[in-house]
Amino acid sequence: MAEFDWHAERGDLAGLAQLDRAPEDEGIDLAAVRLYRQGRVRLEMAARGVDAVILSDPVNIRYATGTRNMQVFSMRNAPSRYLLLTQSRAILFEFTGCLHLAEGFETIDEVRPARTASFVAAGPHIAAREQAWAAEMADLIHELVGSGATVGLERLNAGSAIALQGQGLRIVDAQEPVEMARAIKSDEEMKCVIASLRATEIGVARLRDAIRPGLTEAQLWSVLHQSVIAQNGDYVETRLLNAGARTNPWFQETSDNVIGPNELIALDTDVVGCHGYYADFSRSFHSGPGAPTPLQRELYRIAHEQVHHNMDILRPHMSFRDYAEAAWDIPARYHANRYYLSAHGCGMTGEYPYLYHRGDFPDAGYDGEILPGMTLCVESYIGAEGGREGVKLEQQVLVTDKGIELLSHFPFEDDLLR
């Protein structure tokens, strides 16, 4: 691996596009990215006989059009903005006062004001608002694709979905075509993924430099947030940084816990970065000032072994079942606290597919094919049940025709691998 100066200024990342439109200095053709992604959704819709989709998940709207607007707000206020997509038309219904944000996008044929059908917006008139919303959408769908259309829905309040079904449409779930579309990345799209990763790696390097006993977890975690936002990233999706005894078990919310001397610190980035792409890798550090203990090094070494074994077995056209069979065998003392997945897809967020551990596959797993163009995050959490500390490591990779390409370049800790 080439040496990377983690303390250098971000000269190669200067000028990130403020509105995801045209960052010529990054050499990314974002119009091509947007058109590829919209074409992927339409391809998967056609393969499943879906005539139209109504997308309200802001991540999926961004995927299908490149437009963004108050992404976190929109996630919890559906449908405050939504997209109607057919094979020939893309109509974005935008939040009040925000119609100008979608101007100039080649992926949008028309922008209309959204009719927000939520209880917060309509209060006791919610049922009437839902009926009006459904009638408006049904009339438009009938106009565009004819009567009796098959329409994919996602993330709508139940009343809106029920009202739409009452308009003579066949309602199906939009998750499958959209997830299958998102799973395969173009070469141009990968430039966005890599830009987000490099910016996030700079943030993690700054966080690592800031580590010292006496800081709270939240104070340390804020270093990554500041760097991500300063580089025009969007937000951090989770709060997964813990120290000392709070590293075991995993999945504890970052808190005001004070980092002590010679403790392990574990984090998972989960950054929705520039261009809306997920930068998802995990690292564990040592707080100092002394050297890591033999047990801390053992935990780290085992997690490192798991990640690299599972990266080494990945190959294009491998089945999910075969991957599970060949995956690293978790030692019994670490099995109870294992990470819930062996690997998962990654794009604008965590996505299809989920790859399960061998022991979990019979109950939770499903089969499929690892395909070129998928980006995967290979996971490990190692912490004994009842143990004091644990280690979280994760690498992001691209599946190619020949094997895999490592995407996350942040170094591992030499003093924990000795």
In a domain, 5, yes or no: no
- Count of domains observed in the chain: 2
CATH at 136: 3.40.350.10
pLDDT score recorded for residue 80: 85
| Residues 120 and 171 reside in one and the same domain | yes
Given CA atoms 404, 405, 407, 412 in this order, what sign does their dihedral have? positive
Mean pLDDT of 220-246: 96
In a domain, 84, yes or no: yes
| Residues 149 and 206 reside in one and the same domain | no
The reported pTM is 0.92
In a domain, 63, yes or no: yes
pLDDT score recorded for residue 12: 41
Q: Considering the chain, what is the average pLDDT of its residues?
A: 92
CATH at 295: 3.90.230.10
pLDDT tens-digit map of 62-105 = 999 999 989 888 888 777 899 999 999 999 999 989 899 998 89
| Residues 268 and 380 reside in one and the same domain | yes
Compute how many other C-beta atoms are within 10 angstroms of the C-beta atom of residue 406: 11
**Nearest CA to 394 among 408, 405, 383, 404?**
408
| Residues 175 and 194 reside in one and the same domain | no
Considering only residues 380 and 10, tell me which one the structure prediction assigns the higher pLDDT.
380
Mean pLDDT is lowest, of 27-31, 197-201, 394-398, for: 27-31
pLDDT score recorded for residue 3: 39
| Residues 134 and 248 reside in one and the same domain | no
Q: 210-248 in b/e burial notation, b at 16+ Cβ within 10 A? A: ebeeebebeebbbbbbebbeebbbbebbebbbbbbebbb
Percent of the chain whose predicted confidence (pLDDT) is above 70: 94
Query: What are the angstrom distances between the C-alpha of 38 and each of 19, 60, 114, 194?
Result: 18, 10, 21, 21
Quote the CA–CA distance of 356 and 276 in Å, as a whole number.
26
In a domain, 43, yes or no: yes
pLDDT at 178 exceeding the cut of 70: yes
Q: Which of 182, 204, 238 corresponds to the end of one domain?
A: 182
pLDDT at 8 exceeding the cut of 80: no
| Residues 89 and 152 reside in one and the same domain | yes
Quote the CA–CA distance of 396 and 405 in Å, as a whole number.
9
| Residues 262 and 375 reside in one and the same domain | yes
Range of the domain at 359: 187-417
Q: Which of 182, 204, 223 corresponds to the end of one domain?
A: 182
Given CA atoms 160, 162, 166, 171 in this order, what sign does their dihedral have? positive
| Residues 338 and 198 reside in one and the same domain | yes
In a domain, 225, yes or no: yes
E strand intervals along 227-286: 235-236, 241-243, 264-268, 271-272, 278-279, 282-286
pLDDT tens-digit map of 120-173 = 888 899 999 999 999 999 999 999 999 899 999 998 888 988 999 999 999 999
Residues contacting residue 361 through CB under 8 Å, at least 6 positions apart: 321, 324
| Residues 370 and 223 reside in one and the same domain | yes
Quote the CA–CA distance of 283 and 307 in Å, as a whole number.
12
| Residues 141 and 74 reside in one and the same domain | yes
In a domain, 2, yes or no: no
| Residues 155 and 277 reside in one and the same domain | no
Quote the CA–CA distance of 230 and 106 in Å, as a whole number.
28
Q: 3-state DSSP call for residue 300?
A: helix
Reported as a pLDDT band with limits 50, 70 and 90, residue 118 is confident
| Residues 84 and 214 reside in one and the same domain | no
Percent of the chain whose predicted confidence (pLDDT) is above 90: 83
Contact 119, 126 (CB under 8 A): yes
pLDDT score recorded for residue 116: 83
In a domain, 255, yes or no: yes
Mean pLDDT of 15-36: 67
Query: What are the angstrom distances between the C-alpha of 46 and each of 42, 50, 140, 151, 353?
Result: 6, 6, 19, 12, 21
Q: Which of 152, 182, 212 corresponds to the end of one domain?
A: 182
In a domain, 131, yes or no: yes
